[in-house]
Amino acid sequence: MQVPAQFEYRRATSVADAVALLARHGQGARVVAGGHSLIPMMKLRLAQPEVLIDINDLSELGGIGVEAGVLRLGAMVRHAELLASPEVGELVPVLHDAERVIADPIVRNRGTVGGSVCQADPSEDLSGAFAALRAEAVIGDGESVRTVPVREFFTGPYETVVGPAELLLELRVPLWSTGSAYVKVDRRAGDWAVAAAAAALRVVDGRVAEVGIGLTAVGARGFVAAEAEEHLRGGPATDAAFAEAGALAAAHCRPSADQRGPVDYKRHLAGELTVRALRRAAARAGAGAVAA
Options 21, 102, 215, 287; binder of ligand FAD; rule CB under 6 A: 102
What DSSP character marks residue 258? B
Residue from 133, 162, 208, 250 touching ligand FAD (CB under 6 A): that is 162
Distance (Å) of CA 253 to CA 61, 116, 131, 138, 215: 34, 22, 15, 28, 8
Q: Rule CB under 6 A: is residue 62 a binding residue for ligand FAD? A: no
E runs forming strands in the chain: 8-11, 29-32, 51-54, 64-67, 70-74, 136-140, 145-149, 154-156, 159-160, 167-174, 179-186, 193-204, 207-216
Question: Least separation, in Å, of the C-beta of 72 and ligand FAD?
Answer: 14
Q: Indicate whether 168 belongs to the interface with ligand FAD (CB under 6 A).
A: yes
63: left (phi over 0), alpha (psi -120 to 50) or beta: left
- Is 214 a binding residue for ligand FAD by CB under 6 A? The answer is no
Q: Is position 30 an interface residue for ligand FAD (rule: CB under 6 A)?
A: yes
**Neighbouring C-beta atoms of residue 241, cutoff 10 Å:** 18
- The answer to whether the CB of 154 falls within 8 A of the CB of 222 is yes
- Would you count residue 150 as binding ligand FAD (CB under 6 A)? no
154 binds ligand FAD (CB under 6 A): no
Closer CB to ligand FAD, residue 61 or residue 241? 61
Smallest gap from residue 43 Cβ to ligand FAD (A): 11
User: With CB under 6 A, what is the number of residues at the site for ligand FAD?
Assistant: 28
Distance, in Å, from the CA atom of 38 to the CA atom of 48, rounded to the nearest integer, reads 10
Query: DSSP string spanning 42-66?
Result: HHTTS---SEEEE-TT-GGG--EEE
- Out of 21, 73, 119, 141, the residue judged to bind ligand FAD by CB under 6 A: 119
Span from 28-36, 80-88, 202-210, 269-277 in contact with ligand FAD (CB under 6 A): 28-36
| Residues at the site binding ligand FAD, with contacts judged by CB under 6 A | 30-38, 40, 75, 102-103, 107, 111-112, 114-116, 118-119, 124-126, 162, 167-168, 192
